[in-house]
Structure 1
Amino acid sequence: MKSNDVLAARFREVILNGTWIANTNFMDQLTGTDLVTVTTKYESLNTIADLARHIHYYINGLNGFFREGTLDIRDQFSFDFAPMERQDQWDDFIVQFNEDAEDFAAMIEQLPEERMQQVFVDAKYGSYHRNIDAMIEHCYYHLGQVVLIKKLVISEHKENGSI
């Protein structure tokens, strides 16, 4: 199996449909989760909505790079989002996140094998392979946070009698 196919499958696993590494994925954790749960701040932790939108920010930015050839995302803006105030906003976000993640995986699959070891944007970033692999690791890192925060928030809601 080519490295781009392996990376695309691993990316789909963490975002869309896998259970092998974490026994869950972003879509399992986010789909059907109500707005109150995803926007509840637990102590000093990020909200689930902010973490999901943070990951989507990078997916969307990399999609833009693959389509247009410019990398316009910046770490300093990766948590800058308008408040999520309505359930339909959250539901629409989940649909968009899912579509953009699938687009990203499809673009990975289309990369020629020889490109995987080429420089990604600038030599300081390393290769395409390294950056795609780092994106997958970044997703798993925040998926773990989402799972824990969701448990904490739901537990707090139960204790307070709000669910």
Structure 2
Amino acid sequence: MNYSKQLANRFREVILNGTWIANTNYKDQLEGLDWQLAIKPVQHLNTIAALAQHVHYYIKGVKEVLQGGELTIKDQFSFDFPELNSQAQWDAFLVLFWQDAEEFVVQVEALSEAQLSENFVEEKYSTYLRNIEAMIEHSYYHLGQIVLLKKMLDHN
């Protein structure tokens, strides 16, 4: 199996269907979650919805680059989202999240070994490989927070 396929599988595991590293994934944690729980604050922490939207923001932005588009995402805007006001809005967001994650996987699988070593947009952003690995690590980081938030909310 080539390295691009391995990276795509690791990304798929954390977002869509894996249990090997964290014994869960985003889809398992967020599908069927009541929107009011997703937006419920716990002390001064980010909400589950904010964390999910934050991770999706980066998936969508990097996916656009992988599809030949421009890099338009900025860290300063990575938590700026419209307020969710219904289950329908939450469910629609999740559909988009899973769709963009699937498209991201397809793009990663298509990268050649040479492309993985190329600069991602500009030299200052390092390589495609480093950015994809960062997407996986970043996703696990916030997945852990979501799992903890759900446990805290279950005890309230």
- Asked whether the two chains share a fold, i.e. TM above 0.5, the reply is yes
Q: Does 1:18 align with 2:11?
A: no
Residue 145 of structure 2: aligned partner = 145
1:113 is displaced (CA, Å) by 1.7
1:67 is displaced (CA, Å) by 2.1
Residue 134 of structure 2: aligned partner = 134
1:30 is displaced (CA, Å) by 0.2
CA distance in 2, matches of 1:76, 1:108: 25
Residues 1-163 of structure 1: pairs in structure 2 closer than 5 A: 1-156=1-156
Work out the number of aligned pairs and report it: 156
1:70 is displaced (CA, Å) by 1.2
8 A contact 1:61–1:72 mirrored in 2: yes
Listed as ranges, the gaps of 5+ residues in structure 2 are none
- Once the two structures are superposed, residues 16-61 of structure 1 have per-residue CA deviations (whole angstroms, 9 ceiling, x without a partner) of 0000000000000000110111000000100000000000000110
Aligned-CA RMSD value: 0.8
Q: One-letter code of the match for 1:14?
A: V
Q: Following superposition, which runs of at least 4 residues in structure 1 exceed 3 angstroms of deviation?
A: none
Task: Quote the sequence identity (%).
Answer: 54
1:69 is displaced (CA, Å) by 3.1
Larger Rg belongs to:
1
8 A contact 1:119–1:127 mirrored in 2: yes
Residue 161 of structure 1: aligned partner = none
Listed as ranges, the gaps of 5+ residues in structure 1 are 157-163
8 A contact 1:37–1:154 mirrored in 2: no
1:109 is displaced (CA, Å) by 0.4
Q: What TM-score comes out, normalization by structure 1 length?
A: 0.93
Q: One-letter code of the match for 1:24?
A: T
